[in-house]
Amino acid sequence: MSVLVCENLQKTFHSHGRSTRAVQGVSLRVGPGEVLAFLGPNGAGKTTTIKMIAGLVRPDAGTVRVAGRDPHRDPWALRQLGAVLEGNRNVYWRLTPLENLEYFGVLRGLSAATARRRGRLLLERFNLTDKQNALTQQLSRGMQQKLAIAVSLVHEPSLLLLDEPTLGLDVEAAETVKRMVRELAAGGQAIVLTTHQLDVAQQLSHRVAIIREGRIIAEDRTDALLARFSGEQYEIEVVGEIDAARRERLRALGAEPLNGRVVYLGVPEGLWDVLDALRPLTILRVEKDRADLTEVFLKLIREEERA
Amino acid sequence: MLRLIGIEFKRSLLMLRRYPMEMVGQLIVITMIFYGLFLGARYIAGPTAQFGERLDALVVGYVLWTFALFAIGDLSWGLMDEARTGTLEQVFLSPYGPSRVYLARNVAGLLVTLALNLGILLLIQLLTGVRLDFSPAVLAPLGAVLLGAYGLGFMLGALALLFKRIQAFLNLFQFVLMFLIMTPFEQFSGTARLAGELLPMTIGAGQLRTLMARGEAFDPVVFGLALASGLAYLIAGLWVFGSAVRAAKERGLLGGY
């Protein structure tokens, strides 16, 4: 059963006599333990969609269900939702991490005692226990972001919305946040992740949805999408000169010897014959051409632009 | 709701404990402004002038004005500040809804506001030599004034939500508030009195002046009218705020500047 079900979401903003169709028929589903990377260029409709899911922007049409409940009609549906929103502090800088966890826990419907108890556990889990009584404004950016994620989890929601969770973090802090996202998903948390850092999306997501000008232009499992855009060729890097006889044999097998490497475009089983032809040269690397999410993203966006 | 009030109370106490100088600064500045006005008036009137009951009424009005300023300003300034710093949307993610959260915040902030204004009152009394009549009965019209103040606070909060930057308007509104609280409508007659008493907080403010400055007896009928006015403005304020929340969600206005 899906934790998040959005059907045909539509939103048009009107300002100074102009209308902007921000979201046009977006439908999404996310199951337990699944990370959906929701990607798109600036102004594509990501944040509007996320805010419609969170009940912060009312859709003109379409429905949102979080754990079966509509946050636009039933405020207690928000009990099943946690969010870290981009460009926001998300927590009070004049309170300590533990005070923030207690405050927002009660705001989400917990008793103060439960919020404190869960808050301590989350601080321990996120390695913030030694900072629990420091003022949040004195924490590093990475720690503040970890705290924001901890706060969004204090009421144990079914769905977590993470809008640019690694933006502006140093390498170490970004790695910690990525590890946390993986752990949360492994524990059954449904997560919608928006980010412009496509390598992060590739590393973390099980599925990808790409939005452009308010419409979803691609949605698939991350590995399937990458495979769809990956080539069939293998590249073999060798040490030493490939002599003329080997070159001829390689060409007969459908491989093209280039400077210090061989490109093979035949069937996968034929790769063994190519490797055999290279014997006894030292092989440095054998790699199948594999697109990364950045290539896929750019190809799709450009294809749409041309269309 | 009690949970919400409890946690908001804890939050306001933590802020107070952590940043006490903010409150002390406010207390000193507000008292000094009144003392400056008092010295100026005495200079103009000459050293032998006796202000009597009028000064008492002015002190009551001034302290009540600062009280209403805090009660009204907390919500609208708070909303603008939260929109700027980026915690507003997290508050709106509460299943209790923003109206209840901010109402709880108002109730919780009451004690701090009360302590601050009591401090201002005591300092002004010390500086001017005014002696006011304190009795438990003053709490009733004070409560009625507060209900009206919170109602106005929610209306201004609605403006802050929809138009974001309303600092200039809020600064001007202080003078509107001064007019509402310090004008002695209870001493007017006819249509002027009726029109004045339809405005927010005026009946309660008048009863406070009657009790504390003129030392007259508590009139339950006047209090009933003050309470009805306070409740009507609170309900209207909550309705306007709720409508503004819906409009802000419709137009995608929540969030940062």
Query: CA distances (Å), A14 to each of A22, A53, B250, in order?
Result: 10, 20, 10
Given an 8 Å threshold on Cβ–Cβ distance, is B249 in contact with A58? Answer: yes
Closest-CA distance, B90 to chain A, in angstroms, reads 6
Span A17-46, pLDDT tens digits: 888 888 898 999 999 999 999 988 888 888
Given an 8 Å threshold on Cβ–Cβ distance, is A94 in contact with B96? Answer: no
Q: Give the CATH number of domain A4-227; options: 3.40.50.720, 1.10.540.10, 3.40.50.300, 3.40.50.2000.
A: 3.40.50.300
Amino acid B257: pLDDT: 41
Nearest CA among A163, A131, A128 for reference residue A49: A163
On whether any CB of chain A is under 8 Å from the CB of B20, the answer is no
Amino acid B53: pLDDT: 64
B125, with CB counted inside 10 A (0-12, 13-18, 19+), is middle
Given an 8 Å threshold on Cβ–Cβ distance, is A13 in contact with B101? Answer: no
Longest dimension (CA), chain B: 63
Q: How many CB pairs under 8 A join A and B?
A: 101
3-state secondary structure chain B: CHHHHHHHHHHHHHHHHHCHHHHHHHHHHHHHHHHHHHHHHHHHHCCCCCCCHHHHHHHHHHHHHHHHHHHHHHHHHHHHHHHHHCCHHHHHCCCCCHHHHHHHHHHHHHHHHHHHHHHHHHHHHHHHCCCCCCCHHHHHHHHHHHHHHHHHHHHHHHHHHHHCCCHHHHHHHHHHHHHHHHCCHHHCCHHHHHHHHHCCCHHHHHHHHHHHCCCCCCCHHHHHHHHHHHHHHHHHHHHHHHHHHHHHHHHCCCCCC
Question: B252: which chain A residues are within 8 Å (Cβ-Cβ)?
Answer: 11, 13, 22, 48, 51, 57
Is the CATH number 3.30.70 carried by domain A231-288? yes
Residue A82, token pair as written in the block: 């946690």
| Structure ipTM | 0.80
Residue A52, token pair as written in the block: 């419609």
Per-residue pLDDT of chain B (257 residues; tens, 9 = 90+): 788 888 988 888 888 788 778 778 877 887 887 777 777 777 776 666 566 666 777 777 777 888 888 888 888 888 888 888 888 888 899 999 888 998 888 888 887 778 888 888 888 778 777 776 667 777 888 889 889 999 998 998 898 888 877 888 888 888 888 888 888 887 788 888 888 888 988 888 888 888 877 777 788 898 999 999 999 999 999 999 999 999 988 888 876 54
B interface mutation test: which of A107, A159, A162, A167 has the most B CBs within 10 A? Answer: A107
Amino acid B215: pLDDT: 74
Taken in order A186, A189, A192, A197, is the CA torsion positive or negative? negative
Nearest CA among B138, B171, B170 for reference residue B153: B170
On whether any CB of chain A is under 8 Å from the CB of B84, the answer is no
Given an 8 Å threshold on Cβ–Cβ distance, is A88 in contact with B14? Answer: no
On whether any CB of chain B is under 8 Å from the CB of A109, the answer is yes
- Compute the mean pLDDT over every residue in chain A, rounded to the nearest whole number: 87
On whether any CB of chain B is under 8 Å from the CB of A116, the answer is no
Chain B residues 162-221 within an 8 A CB cutoff of chain A: none
The CA-based angle B235-B236-B238, given to 5 degrees, is 65
Nearest CA among A222, A201, A203 for reference residue A46: A201
Residue B156, token pair as written in the block: 């201004």
Residue A205 has pLDDT above 70, yes or no: yes
Question: B94: which chain A residues are within 8 Å (Cβ-Cβ)?
Answer: 78, 107-109
Given an 8 Å threshold on Cβ–Cβ distance, is A106 in contact with B4? Answer: yes
The partner residue sitting opposite A109, judged by closest CB among B6, B95, B256, is B95
- In whole angstroms, give the CA distance from residue B193 to residue B187: 8
The continuous run of DSSP H or E covering A142 comes out as: helix A141-153
- In whole angstroms, give the CA distance from residue B111 to residue B74: 13
Check residue B227 and give left, alpha or beta (phi > 0: left; psi -120 to 50: alpha). alpha
Given an 8 Å threshold on Cβ–Cβ distance, is B90 in contact with A48? Answer: no
Closest-CA distance, B13 to chain A, in angstroms, reads 11
Question: B93: which chain A residues are within 8 Å (Cβ-Cβ)?
Answer: 54-56, 78, 81, 83, 108
**Amino acid identity, position A27:** S
Given an 8 Å threshold on Cβ–Cβ distance, is B89 in contact with A89? Answer: no
Domain boundaries, chain A: 4-227, 231-288
Query: CA distances (Å), A6 to each of A26, A61, B6, B101, B192, in order?
Result: 7, 11, 36, 28, 57
Question: B249: which chain A residues are within 8 Å (Cβ-Cβ)?
Answer: 55-58
